[in-house]
Amino acid sequence: MATKLTDAYDLLATSVLLVDDDGRLLHINSAAQDLLERSLKSLEKTAAVDLFTDAEAFNKAFDYVSGRKLSSVRLTLTLRKAMENVPANVTLTRLEAMPWRILIELREFEQHALAERNERLFHEIEIYKDTFRNLAHEVKNPLGGLRGAAQLLEMELQDPLLKEYTQVIIDEADRLQGLVDRLIRPSQSQLSLSVINIHEVCERVHALIRAEYQDRITIVKDYDASVPDMKADMAKLVQAYLNLARNAAQSLLGDAQSRLSPDGGQDSAEGKKGNTEHADNSLERVGPKLILRTRILNKFYLLNKVHRLVVVVSVVDNGAGVPKHLKDRIFHPLVTGRAEGTGLGLSLAQELVHQHGGVIEFDSEPGHTEFRMLLPLEQV
């Protein structure tokens, strides 16, 4: 019987460990061997607790289950793999009338690989930001001198037509000054924390987007009313979320305009193929649409830490999606897919969310793009 059962466990995609009363491993199914990067022979008869870095937490859970205080316990532990330690969801379940006392299920966090990618991204962004800050400081002084010289020259000119040229210089200097300030400002400002509800942020952004785009875009609110209050910088979260929503809205209207334009490139009648056609059909059916959404995640792995509660604040649109060549660089400063864009909106939003201990992730395919702000809720 035992052999038949172990053969059945080997067919499962879930990683399963079977242990005796003393907590020693009697069987490790194929999925668990792959997860642990070790063979059945090397693990058999070893103590299950040795697979985890937090022995006290595992032993406590094991005692509860083996002592019949609880039939099942689920907890988050760090798993020792052959090459590295990774966070995992661990479930211990007591077995009755079976050759083994306890069944242990292991589920490696799906967010682990994503977290590693985000760490690399933040490292890259920090390098970019240091470069741009140094460049911005070098540009500020000569830019101020250029503007001042243009103002003095304008005062000396009598011909209004000539003053138009100096005004162009002044306006462009102001525009560049604003760009420089945006490159420098995020790192120089501190959080002004207060207790807020995330839906205050959502409602503010909803009002701003609705006022800016009116009936050109359908905006849908999909809120989870159970989201608790949190400590955060209201103004900075509004700015971050507004950047995501405005970026999506601009992308939607650009997609719609491209479809209507005779010079629409791949969106023109001759270029409608595959995924692009799918996105266009989505816009044709329901028009440009934005969804503002909130959700709660429990025991979520975020930036090398497991958080008890994480709020997810999303912007979902039905546009053509993020171009493939931009997906790995979308949060880099000065990277943009729009000719009129500055490439600072998403970079700034990512930094503002990162200041709160969170991160912005995204999934994108034609017809469905979702940018998510993930924010830990432990502050309150």
Give residue-wise pLDDT tens across range 185-230.
655 567 888 999 999 999 999 999 998 888 899 999 999 998 999 9
167-184 pLDDT, tens digit each: 888 888 887 777 677 666
Q: Collect all residues with Cβ–Cβ distance below 8 Å to 166 and sequence separation of at least 6.
A: 150, 151, 153, 154, 157
Mean pLDDT over residues 351-358, rounded?
Answer: 87
List, for residues 131-154, the tens digit of each pLDDT value.
666 666 677 778 888 889 989 998
How do residues 55-93 score in pLDDT, each as one tens digit?
999 999 999 898 888 888 888 888 888 777 877 889 999
Predicted confidence at residue 280, as pLDDT, reads 47
Instruction: Record the tokens describing residue 106, joined without a space.
Output: 């292991």
More confident site: 105 or 118: 105
145 phi-psi bin (left φ>0, alpha ψ -120 to 50, beta other): alpha
- Model confidence, pTM: 0.57
Q: What is the pLDDT of residue 195?
A: 93
User: Could you count the other beta carbons within 10 Å of the beta carbon of residue 218?
Assistant: 14
Identify the pLDDT of residue 129: 63
pLDDT value at 291 more than 60: yes
Task: Spell out the domain ranges in the chain.
Answer: 1-108, 113-184, 194-256+287-376
Q: Residue 247's closest CA among 172, 178, 335? A: 335
Helix (H, G, I), strand (E, B) or coil at 159: coil
CATH of the domain spanning 194-256+287-376, picked from 3.30.70.100, 3.30.565.10, 3.40.50.2000, 3.30.70.141: 3.30.565.10
- CATH code of domain 1-108: 3.30.450.20
**Residue ranges in 315-369 assigned as alpha helix (H):** 345-355
> Look-up: residue for tokens 């306006």?
171
Strands laid side by side in the 72-80 sheet: 25-28, 15-19, 102-108, 85-94, 72-80
Query: Position 63: which residue type?
Result: D
Q: What DSSP character marks residue 228?
A: P
End-to-end Cα distance, the chain? 52
pLDDT at residue 257 greater than cutoff 60? no
Count of beta carbons in the 10 Å neighbourhood of residue 227:
19
